[in-house]
Amino acid sequence: MAGTIRKSARRVTAADVAEAAGVSRSAVSRAFTPGSYLDDGKRRAILRAAKRLGYRPNAMAAILQGGASDLVAIFAGEMPNDFDREVAAALVSGLNAIGKWPLVIGGDEATARRALANVLRYPLEAMILRSGSLDEGVAKSCAKLGVPVISSGRILHMPGVDNVCCRNRDGMADMGRLLIEGGRRRVAFVGGPETFWSAGERRLGLVTALHAAGLTLSADAMGAYTVQSGYDAAADLLAGPPFDALVCANDAMAIGALSLLRDRGIPVPEQIAVVGFDDIAMAAWPAFNLTTVRNPIDTLVETVTDLVQRRVETPTKPDETIAIDVSLVCRGTH
Amino acid sequence: MAGTIRKSARRVTAADVAEAAGVSRSAVSRAFTPGSYLDDGKRRAILRAAKRLGYRPNAMAAILQGGASDLVAIFAGEMPNDFDREVAAALVSGLNAIGKWPLVIGGDEATARRALANVLRYPLEAMILRSGSLDEGVAKSCAKLGVPVISSGRILHMPGVDNVCCRNRDGMADMGRLLIEGGRRRVAFVGGPETFWSAGERRLGLVTALHAAGLTLSADAMGAYTVQSGYDAAADLLAGPPFDALVCANDAMAIGALSLLRDRGIPVPEQIAVVGFDDIAMAAWPAFNLTTVRNPIDTLVETVTDLVQRRVETPTKPDETIAIDVSLVCRGTH
DNA sequence: TTGAAAGCGGTACCAG
DNA sequence: CTGGTACCGCTTTCAA
């Protein structure tokens, strides 16, 4: 369907406004700078002319001149599950709320890698990492350029990086103890490839709790943090030696595993307990009622935005590593 | 936890590279401009020096000078459900793939409104609308500045706006006919407030199909496109006159309704059919097995990114309204 | 092929 | 309080 043909117009500049209002460009600049010396009547006249012409100060010029860019990149990775997408959405809102512009980079590794080189041409105030696999490389590139890096969801031991991360090991250790107290003895785990750093941490927490009780992991499966991969991993595990608890590195996989067990008619939690990590909204739905570990997104976002602000304010402040507390959410699958 | 204290360094400029390589700034600029006259040895020397110093051309200066900004804003709204978040994530990836930088604006209306005024200070190549409530105002502001607007998910009849939208009415009309053919006669609908434009369109499609069969809508409930609101709406409807089909304006609400009916022990689809719209990944899970209308995200993203490119290429091209085909997905709840 | 110089659109520092 | 002016860092003429 065709519609109106439009004309492309040149952007209105301060000079245009100055001419229209019969003042100098300096005056126009002052009219848009709070707390600057300018006759009140003149200021009003300028703002009126600006509004009439549709003038907005060009951010590029202001930034080039030395102003804040307010640009913050988010390296979001592929966002394969709802938790990652929720975090990304919440980060965007949180950054908007503190007056920053999140410039989001997502998609597969090749696209992201290509994007990185180019996005660094923009004067970023910070780079937020949520990707997983490319993190070290990105952090190195940023460090070279003096762009502050905030890694969330995985701890990067590099100078020039602030870290925000939930207590993966503690959370999963608590979960392990809960299962053991509930009488479970043969515990299987569904983790992820090395690029999912948190999977390794969570596994470690579980193993620690098991060891303390004189137990070891019964089986180890590899997932991909998606529902489908949890479904498949559970099927693989069922083909092996029996187990009475299935600990998944995240809720998406736990929900997938739950579905598989239901399909096979295996009673949960009577025969096998199934638990996850994150406490996504879905985990609370009656259809799943999943026992899990709460990984609070709001706290994460607050911590990250706070870190962004403090880092921008004091670029030389020491690096920080902030841990976010998690807590057991006992529902019906353990 | 404290760590290394870092130094904040000045950004490396073309002048620094020029000095290091013993050439003029012009030569440095040329070295980064494909297809420009420059001695090959000199170019190599410059690129080497640039790499050593960690130089990247400053995008702000290039843009100010007249270059492409590659900046595309996405007005994403609150993203209350997984479909919206999936679309946002896919749009981000799609834009990255064509070399654009999605600058995402999300969160509640107040935040978004405040953000709009400021983001227009950046030279945006396009503005993608997914918000719902603020769309007209945003489109007007953009039109005044000559920023192309691409509205997706809701048709805006305004000059200067390209529209991409799925065939909401057709899809829901097909669904209505499917239900009628299946013997359903008392059809209830769960829609949304006026800000959810698609809910009205989908309702219209359903009503059309019902009318053609000499039927009318049995009941009308208002949801908010979230799972919880579907759950609540279904509860409200059950308190009224009986019905044998429950059509929800999106999958999230359908899944909520499904949960409520299960909680109440009402057999689906034997006693009541439940259907949705969008075909989110979850709809296919065995736990829900939802009959729905497929609203293809990949096609949406391709269409939008294509439109962005064509609009940037030819700013004066006529406005377009592109409809995306949808299709019935028959599973187990109808 | 090269360097010098003129902007791009602001901001901030001048002297007035 | 005001207007003029020198930048910010890059691209792109222009003349050499």
Over residues B76-88, the mean pLDDT reads 92
Q: Is residue B1 over pLDDT 50? A: no
Is strand C in 7 Å reach of the CB of A55? yes
Smallest CA–CA distance, residue A216 to chain B, in Å, is 32
* Assigned superfamily of A71-166+297-322: Response regulator (3.40.50.2300)
In this complex, the nucleotide whose C1' atom is nearest to the CA atom of residue B38 is C1
List of E strands, B231-296: 245-248, 273-275, 292-294
Given a contact cutoff of 8 angstroms between Cβ atoms, the answer to whether A256 and A234 are in contact is yes
Count of residues making up chain A: 334
Q: Is residue B132 over pLDDT 90? A: no
Over residues B302-313, the mean pLDDT reads 96
Q: Is residue B40 over pLDDT 70? A: yes
The first and second tokens of residue B104, run together, are 């995402």
Per-residue pLDDT for chain A (334 aa), expressed as one digit of tens each? Answer: 445 555 556 889 998 899 888 898 899 999 988 888 888 888 899 999 999 988 999 999 999 998 899 999 999 999 988 999 999 999 999 999 999 999 999 988 888 888 988 999 999 999 999 977 778 888 988 988 889 999 998 999 999 899 999 999 999 999 999 999 999 999 999 999 888 999 999 999 999 999 999 999 999 999 999 999 999 999 999 999 999 999 999 999 999 999 999 999 999 999 999 999 999 999 998 889 999 999 999 999 999 999 999 999 998 899 999 999 999 999 999 9
The first and second tokens of residue B37, run together, are 């006259």
Q: Measuring CA to CA, which residue among B193, B245, B239 is closest to residue B217?
A: B245
Structural class in CATH, domain A168-294: alpha beta
Considering the entire predicted model, what is its pTM? 0.93
Q: Is residue B11 over pLDDT 90? A: no
Does an H or E element contain A157, and which? Answer: none
The helix/strand count (H/E) of chain B reads as 12, 12
Given a contact cutoff of 8 angstroms between Cβ atoms, the answer to whether A116 and A138 are in contact is yes
Given a contact cutoff of 8 angstroms between Cβ atoms, the answer to whether B74 and B92 are in contact is yes
Cis peptide before A269 (omega within 30 of 0): yes
List of E strands, A107-206: 126-129, 149-152, 161-166, 187-191
Given a contact cutoff of 8 angstroms between Cβ atoms, the answer to whether A134 and A73 are in contact is no
The first and second tokens of residue A197, run together, are 């750093």
Number of other CB atoms surrounding residue B107 within 10 Å: 22
The first and second tokens of residue B304, run together, are 């939008």
Q: What pLDDT score was predicted for residue A72?
A: 97
Contacts of B54 in chain A (CB under 8 A): 144-145
Contacts of B76 in chain A (CB under 8 A): 89, 92
Is strand D in 7 Å reach of the CB of B58? yes
Distances from the Cα of B168 to the Cα of A127, A301, B334, angstroms: 39, 35, 19
In this complex, the nucleotide whose C1' atom is nearest to the CA atom of residue B30 is D11
Smallest CA–CA distance, residue B93 to chain A, in Å, is 5
| Chain A residue with the nearest C-alpha to that of B81 | A86
Q: What pLDDT score was predicted for residue A8?
A: 57
Structural class in CATH, domain A14-64: mainly alpha
Q: What pLDDT score was predicted for residue A225?
A: 94
Contacts of B126 in chain A (CB under 8 A): none
Q: What pLDDT score was predicted for residue A266?
A: 97
Which of B122, B285, B320 is facing A59, going by the closest CB pair? B122
* Residues ≥6 apart with Cβ < 8 Å to B135: B75, B129, B151, B154, B156
pLDDT for B267-282, tens place per residue?
999 999 999 999 999 9
Number of other CB atoms surrounding residue B121 within 10 Å: 18
**Interatomic separation, CA of residue A224 and C1' of nucleotide D12, rounded (Å):** 50
- The runs of H, that is alpha helices, within A146-272 are 168-181, 197-212, 227-238, 251-263
| Chain B residue with the nearest C-alpha to that of A103 | B103
Q: What pLDDT score was predicted for residue B117?
A: 86
Given a contact cutoff of 8 angstroms between Cβ atoms, the answer to whether B221 and B233 are in contact is yes
Q: For chain D, which bases have at least one atom within 7 A of a protein Cβ?
A: 1-5, 7-13
| 3-class secondary-structure state, position A122 | coil
Smallest CA–CA distance, residue B215 to chain A, in Å, is 33
DSSP-assigned states of every residue in B13-73: -HHHHHHHHTS-HHHHHHHTSTT----HHHHHHHHHHHHHHT----HHHHHHTT----EEE
pLDDT bin (cut points 50, 70, 90) of residue B183 is very high
Do the chains contact at B122 and A286, CB–CB below 8 Å?
A: no
The DSSP output letter for B319 is P
Do the chains contact at B120 and A85, CB–CB below 8 Å?
A: no
Q: For chain C, which bases have at least one atom within 7 A of a protein Cβ?
A: 1-5, 7-13
Q: What pLDDT score was predicted for residue B144?
A: 85
CA distance A102 to A127: 9
| Chain B residue with the nearest C-alpha to that of A287 | B259
Q: Measuring CA to CA, which residue among B303, B307, B298 is closest to residue B125?
A: B307
pLDDT for A157-201, tens place per residue?
999 899 999 999 999 999 999 999 999 999 999 999 888 999 999
In this complex, the nucleotide whose C1' atom is nearest to the CA atom of residue B67 is D11
Pairing of strands A245-248, A71-77: unpaired
* Residues ≥6 apart with Cβ < 8 Å to A323: A165, A166, A167
Q: Measuring CA to CA, which residue among B65, B39, B168, B37 is closest to residue B123?
A: B65
Do the chains contact at A119 and B101, CB–CB below 8 Å?
A: yes
Over residues B140-164, the mean pLDDT reads 92
Q: What pLDDT score was predicted for residue B7?
A: 56
Q: Which residue, chain included where needed, has tokens 């980064």?
A: B32
Q: Is residue B8 over pLDDT 60? A: no
Q: Which residue, chain included where needed, has tokens 């804040």?
A: A68
Measure the CA dihedral B148/B319/B131/B88, to 10°. Answer: -80
Which of A6, A60, A69 is facing B160, going by the closest CB pair? A6
Do the chains contact at B103 and A107, CB–CB below 8 Å?
A: no
Q: What pLDDT score was predicted for residue B133?
A: 75
**Interatomic separation, CA of residue A28 and C1' of nucleotide C15, rounded (Å):** 20
Quote the mean pLDDT of chain B: 92
What amino acid is encoded at A248 in this protein? C
pLDDT bin (cut points 50, 70, 90) of residue B2 is very low
The first and second tokens of residue A292, run together, are 């899990």
* Residues ≥6 apart with Cβ < 8 Å to B57: A121, B14, B29, B32
Q: What pLDDT score was predicted for residue A6?
A: 59
Domain ranges of chain A: 14-64, 71-166+297-322, 168-294
pLDDT for B204-260, tens place per residue?
999 999 999 999 999 999 999 999 999 999 999 999 999 999 999 999 999 999 999
Smallest CA–CA distance, residue A65 to chain B, in Å, is 9
The answer to whether the A14-64 and A71-166+297-322 domains have the same CATH topology is no
